[in-house]
Amino acid sequence: MFRSLGDLMGASMIAMDGELGMICNFLFDDQSWKIRYWVVDVGHWLTRREVVISVSAIDQPDWKTKTLRARLTKEQLRNGPDVDSKKPVSRQQEIAMREYFGWPAYWDTIVDKVFPRSSIAAGREFPVHTAEDNHLRSWEDVIGYEVWASDGVVGCLESFIVDEAVWHIGYLDVKTGDWLQSRSALVPTSWVKSISWADHRVILQHARERI
């Protein structure tokens, strides 16, 4: 079933031995369009501390109560490797998390049945500008990016629409028009030509008339 990822912002994350914290962000793979990690705020009102949890360690969410359950203890999560969720996660950090938690290494397999790497078109590699392997991106960072068609601006990225069975981002939820006459348009992620992190833009390969 397809759901809006934004509906889970602020959802409660429950560990095996009690409530852990609230969902505050998501990390997605900008090549396969898969959600890879949940970011959970485990701090309190004076301090904020974020931990990163693999989707492989999470049961399916309860959308009605806005809760998710992790197959880990609070101590395991709080003592996990440090990860700066505000920056792209490096492969070295992922390896450290894999070794600590025992999570599967998705990069060692044919990545996705829904969207295999071999089907990614040339030019869709989303060029990076650092020595790190920053294939993971923050949902929090890209929300609000302008969405551009081949012939001009379309609107503003408001959310992602995901298939909760496999956590694949199938559509961009784009707000078009002005504040008086705005509407939402669902744009397939297969239409994305590139993402400009410097210009804060998602660039599509089709003209506006197709949206």
Task: Please report, for the chain, the start and end positions of each structural domain, with discontinuous segments joined by +.
Answer: 2-108, 137-210
Please tell me the CATH code under which domain 137-210 is placed: 2.30.30.240
CATH fold of 2-108, please?
SH3 type barrels. (2.30.30)
DSSP state of 75: H
How far apart are alpha carbons 201 and 194 in whole angstroms? 9
pLDDT of residue 182: 77
Please determine, for residue 86, whether its predicted confidence score (pLDDT) is greater than 70: no
The partner residues of 34 in beta bridges, in order of sequence, read 29, 168
Phi, psi of 170 (to 5 degrees): -90, -30
DSSP annotation of 121 reads P
Are 2-108 and 137-210 equal in CATH topology?
Answer: yes
Q: What is the pLDDT of residues 121-167, one digit of tens each?
A: 333 333 333 344 456 788 888 999 999 999 999 999 999 999 988 99
Sort residue 157 into left (φ over 0), alpha (ψ -120 to 50) or beta: beta
CA 42, 81, 113 angle in degrees (round to 5)? Answer: 90
